[in-house]
Amino acid sequence: MYKCGHCSKYFQNKRRQEHIKSDLLFQYVWQRQTYSDLAQKYGKSDKWVKKRLDEIEVKPIVTLRPQPIVAVVDTTFFSGQHGVTVFREPNKKKNLWWQEVVGEKAEVYHKGREALENNGFTPQAVVSDGRQGVRRVFEGIPTQMCHFHQKQITNRYLTTRPKLQASKELRAVVSTLSQTNEIDFTTALDAWHEKWKEFLKEKTTSPETGRWYHTHKRVRSAYRSLRTNLPDLFTYQKYLELKIPNTTNSLDGFFNRLKSLLNVHRGLNSKRRRKVMVVILKGKGQK
């Protein structure tokens, strides 16, 4: 508090109040302090802390000059179909665009691409989980299929401990994905298919319906997935100057931190939760 020497009026520095609010928000979000922790630290009540935090206006704008970018794109879900779609620049470690969503839809990715381009960003390459709808959104831009997601797809079909020899050998081929190149990987995949092509053609007839189906359809699905995604599995090696990552790990790691920080403050109403999420998405140092 300050006192005027002429009129004896007491007043406070308005800028100081803004600094206090910024400090409160920083400690609340990044240092995982609760209302009670902050109230005790400042000698105030929980109600005072809530009021100051509610007075803060957080603008969902990223302070990064327009430039050519590599975009890692993906969606994470908090509960049910409620989640957030994020476009991240992995080399800058900045989230450039995001939107809360209900379900993962290609329309949201299209909106994100338009928003980036309208703000002067030029996507030179995209890293995604390989969904066909997302690929169509970024048609004409070099696209890298995340190696981790490709391995997860394979594991879903073959399991992590397959019993069939063909499945074991196909998993062995996939395990080299991040240590090989397109030519060697394609050669190994072709060799596997040549060896097991008759095995893949085996059919079983249902005694109830009399209809046939492929006996090893899960192995066939795993192979088909690899063959379909092959053109996008080694894009990162074709454009070395762009420093394209071969996984979406930058965004996956951020999603883990986002959920961890949000879970500290469980029970927030939607307005306060959204404010905290925007602060995290913008990153430290951005108001």
Residue 77 clears pLDDT 90, i.e. is over it: yes
Q: Read off the tokens for 127.
A: 């890293």
pLDDT of residue 1: 62
- Helix H segments across 56-209? 106-118, 132-137, 147-158, 165-175, 182-201
Over residues 95-122, the pLDDT tens digits come to: 999 999 998 899 999 999 999 999 999 9
Strand 203-205 relative to strand 212-214, pairing: antiparallel
pLDDT at 27: 94
- State the pLDDT at residue 99: 93
Cα–Cα distance, 130 to 166 (Å, whole number):
24
**Whether residue 81 has pLDDT greater than 90:** no
Residue 277 makes CB contacts below 8 A (sequence gap 6+) with: 84, 258, 262
pLDDT of residue 31: 92
* Euclidean distance between CA atoms 211 and 204, whole angstroms: 8
Question: Is residue 282's pLDDT more than 60?
Answer: yes
Give the model's confidence band at 15: pLDDT under 50 very low, under 70 low, under 90 confident, else very high: low
Counting every residue, how long is the chain?
A: 287
pLDDT score recorded for residue 100: 93
Which residues partner with 10 through β-bridges? 3
271 and 278 Cβ atoms separated by less than 8 Å: no
pTM score of the predicted model: 0.86
How does pLDDT run across 126-183, given as a tens digit for each residue?
999 988 889 899 999 999 999 999 999 999 999 999 999 999 999 999 999 999 999 9
